Amino acid sequence: MTDTQFSDSDLATLLLAVGAEPPVGPGVFEDSFRDLDLDSLARTEIAARVVERWGVDVEERLTPETTPTQLRLMVEGEVAAR
């Protein structure tokens, strides 16, 4: 069973796990992955972790301009639609 909540803590943990520089918190959630220096490999890892945790495939929708907030909205929208 997958979790349905995607908290600020979840988002920060995810970003740190793929190489975002600390500190990571709500202040950076509006920055693009490009601004956070997260490359295509980091975005692929994010997508893999999102599928594993929330069961949502976002890989094709993640671009350098995507923000962590947009990622969370994608996941929450898919989970809510189930």
Are 69 and 53 in contact, with CB atoms under 8 Å apart?
Answer: no
Q: Mean of the per-residue pLDDT values for the chain?
A: 93
- Per-residue model confidence (pLDDT) at position 68: 97
Q: Residues 81, 2, 51, 15: is their CA dihedral positive or negative?
A: positive
- Per-residue model confidence (pLDDT) at position 2: 52
- The pair of structure tokens assigned to 16 is 């740190």
pLDDT tens column, 18-28: 999 999 989 99
